[in-house]
Chains A and B, each alone.
Chain A
Amino acid sequence: MSAIAMALDAIREKKSRSFLTMLGIIIGVTAVLVLVAMVTGYNSDLTSYYEKLGVNKVKISITYYNDTRIVDLTDALYQYGNKDLGDVVTGVSPSTTSSVTLKYQDDNLDTTVYLGSDQFSTCNNYTLEQGRDISQVDISQRSNVCLLGSYTTEYLFGYANPIGKTVSINGVPFTVVGTYYQKDGTTEDSMDDMVVVPYSSCRALLGTDILDSYVFKVDTSKNMSAVITKVKAFLAENLSEMVGEYTVENGNSDMAKSNEETASLSAVLGGVAAIALLVGGIGIMNIMLVTVTERTREIGIKKAIGAPRREIIIQFLVESGVLSGMGGLIGVALGYLLSLILGKALYDLIILPEVWMSAAAFAFSIAIGVGFGLYPAVKASALQPVEALRAE
């Protein structure tokens, strides 16, 4: 009879106890896999959020000290981005927003208005679904035209064609010339809950000329820092210190920061789960100690009929190894199942634990079982046969 068959017999004989022993390992392994998978899901969720927002954006924000001394930099920045930096900059647009009430017939919707240039959709990752984008003519003629996000379109028009219809934004009539595809789930407060108008209608709409933030869309991330440097130099030259101050930010740094945060989150949660696994290992040690005490008589008999010490140690090692190995396998299986279920429920993604992670958790659980099983086995095998036989 092989050692593994004997170990399986011993485990089968004490089913509920064996299960309770394994439970620690199962919970530990499952926790490790699921927590790390969920962090992965959270991370890819965040990443896709940032990708929807649009990557490679240089964000400019200007604070004017005094309303009366405003120098409007919109045209200058637009020209600078498209001409001087035209090789690497693919679009320039103001990014000032405001909360407005959008009205079509009897339907009212509180939404966000974007004051954009003709390059607004390029800068912010919107794709035209129907009609046309804002044109340079719209801007120069201060046309009261607008484009709607998919949520706004659906909310106000349902299945009707919105093109050419007139909506009112804060009471000012605007003609709908285009709509955008859904990019963020077409829900309230999503990136699809919006309307965009030519920035030149700022005064008509909001009663002010203040455009104080801009976006430069850069072709690739490696050109970001060069553009930032140049934009800063441009602003230093064109914005007098008397008039205002500016900040220029790398839009990708938000994503980088959140990646760092999820990495540390992943480390912390992984650590917590590793502790759970360790506790599971201590559970195995406990059960092996009890088992050894209970079976001291058996050990005595085996020693009396000639079992070498090595044999006794191997017997208990195999038993704890099989026990923790089974626990590890069940834990991995549960980890996959739960990751799938939770990933679907929380992030609407198919998330599976990584194979190396599962292998590592499985190997770790066996190592823990064997490691903690070793101590009682060594202890038991060192007994004089007669001492072991005396045990009841």
Chain B
Amino acid sequence: MSLIEVKDLYKIYSEGEENEVRALNGVSLSIDYGEFVAIIGASGSGKSTMMNILGCLDVPTRGEYLLDGVSIRERTDRELSQLRSRRISFIFQGYNLIPSLNVWQNVALPLTYQGISLGERRVRAMEALKKVDIVTKAESRPAQLSGGQQQRVAIARAMATGSPILMADEPTGALDSRTGAQVLELLRECNNQGATVILITHDNSIAARADRIIRVMDGKIVSDDTASHVKLAKAAGEMIQ
């Protein structure tokens, strides 16, 4: 059983009308536990729509999506909330921090929905902030931080939940290349610790950091390659054996 199993997925806006848009036009793929996958495509290719559906933020028009072997259509609203709370964490291009809460409260917020006590939430938020090296800003408001710092807070928020799936939608899109590299480093670290990472990007050089690259165009998958360094490592492993 794969972690994510998608068959013939369609997302169609204004179906049957003149301005019909097929954001996803028959997509099938599967992703295993512990993979580091990049989904790459130009803007409007459908890659974000794909992530939204994979992350249970949106529903497909047609097609089957099994998460942990269970169809998403069979899940109730409450179960979907629990999935978003315990199984999947997001890192967005626009950070999506809540401006009225300070940094550690932002990081601790998803833990509220897991029913964790206030004291424990604070401890775990601080641990996560330490991991992304921004613990000194714990009492600041998001607006007082730079873009790179805000994105690190968002990553801390994703890490604090302990979710096994991390979805990042253009996480470096608003950052300079140096801070962007730091963010990718953090994602790699999460993957090394066992998290499945799905990275959405339009940038080949960023996609190249992943183990597997899925290329999307006009709502369809046009290629699905394992990265050369992974192939090399595999081959090397076989040779040693």
Contacts and interface: CB of A to CB of B under 8 A. Distances in A.
A306 B58 contact: no
Contact of A386 (B58, B81, B98, B105): B58
A370 B152 CA distance: 38
B78 interface: yes
Interface string A350-392: 0000000000000000000000000000000000111101000
A310 to B, nearest CB: 8
B113 A384 contact: no
Contacts of B85: 305-308
A389 B55 CA distance: 13
Interface in A282-306: 297-298, 300-306
A50 B83 CA distance: 75
Nearest to A385: B57
Bin the interface of chain B by size: 20 to 34
B105 A304 contact: no
B118 interface: yes
A13 B90 contact: no
Contact of A304 (B90, B100, B118): B90
Interface in A306-365: 306-309, 311
A223 to B, nearest CB: 73
Contacts of B96: 297, 300-301, 304, 389
B98 A303 contact: no
Contacts of A300: 96
Nearest to B55: A304
A384 B85 CA distance: 15
A302 B108 CA distance: 12
Nearest to B81: A308
A386 B92 CA distance: 12
A215 to B, nearest CB: 75
A235 to B, nearest CB: 84
Contacts of B83: 306
B109 interface: yes
A384 B84 contact: no
B90 A384 contact: no
Contacts of A308: 77-78, 81-82, 85, 113
A301 B81 contact: no
Given A385-B57, A389-B57, A306 B84 contact: yes
A5 to B, nearest CB: 11
Contact of A1 (B52, B105, B161): B105
A129 interface: no
A306 B114 contact: yes
Contact of A307 (B57, B81, B118): B81
Given A10-B100, A306-B81, A307-B81, A385 B109 contact: no
B86 interface: yes
Bin the interface of chain A by size: 20 to 34
Interface in A5-54: 9-10, 13
A386 B81 CA distance: 13
B81 A303 contact: yes
B215 interface: no
B57 A384 contact: yes
Interface string B92-129: 10001110100001000110111000100000000000
Contacts of B114: 306
Interface string A240-258: 0000000000000000000
Nearest to B87: A306
Contacts of B52: 386
B202 interface: no
Given A1-B118, A305-B84, A311 B113 contact: yes
Given A311-B113, A384-B57, A386-B52, A305 B100 contact: no
A141 B98 CA distance: 100
A302 to B, nearest CB: 7
B59 A384 contact: yes
Contacts of B77: 308-309
Contacts of A387: 58
B212 interface: no
Interface of A: 1, 9-10, 13, 297-298, 300-309, 311, 384-387, 389
21 contacts: A298-B98, A298-B100, A302-B109, A303-B84, A305-B110, A305-B113, A305-B157, A305-B161, A306-B83, A306-B85, A307-B81, A308-B77, A308-B78, A308-B81, A308-B113, A384-B57, A384-B59, A385-B56, A385-B57, A385-B58, A389-B96
Given A305-B90, A306-B85, A306-B114, 7 more contacts: A1-B105, A298-B98, A300-B96, A304-B84, A384-B59, A385-B56, A389-B92
User: Which 9 residue pairs spanning A and B have beta carbons closest together?
Assistant: A306-B85, A308-B81, A305-B110, A386-B58, A385-B57, A306-B113, A306-B84, A386-B57, A386-B52
